[in-house]
Amino acid sequence: MKKGKLIVLTGATVVIFFVMLHSNPTTALRTKVFYMGYPKAAFTSEIVEYEYVNLHDKDSKGYVFTEPPMEKATQGYLDTYQVKKIGIFYFAEFIKDV
């Protein structure tokens, strides 16, 4: 009985965190950058909506970090992201600079 309650509680916690982290575009973007390995930029940088010309999906928008993280390997800034809405959730991905 205790093992079953633990499994249900763990599953419910995972679902709640997933919903919280993907409930709006900015938290989805901050979550993506955090998991990419840039926690300081994820928490401290400001996010601005960006009018990106090549976004063909009607359910996606472009966003830019004002103080973007710098990739260690290429020394390039990771500043431009696309956030897609799938159902009620938002998912972010890095797109190349314009």
Per-residue pLDDT of the chain (98 residues; tens, 9 = 90+): 788 899 999 999 999 999 999 999 999 999 999 998 889 988 898 888 887 656 666 778 888 888 888 888 888 888 888 888 889 999 998 887 55
Cα–Cα distance list, 31 to 8, 16, 37, 49, 97 (Å): 25, 14, 10, 17, 20
Q: What are the extents of the domains in the chain?
A: 2-94
- Residue 29's nearest CA partner among 80, 83, 79, 68 is 83
Neighbours of 55 (CB within 10 A): 16
Neighbours of 95 (CB within 10 A): 18
Give the chain's largest Cα–Cα span. Answer: 56
Answering whether pTM is above 0.85, one says: no
Task: Say if residues 55 and 61 touch (Cβ distance below 8 Å).
Answer: yes
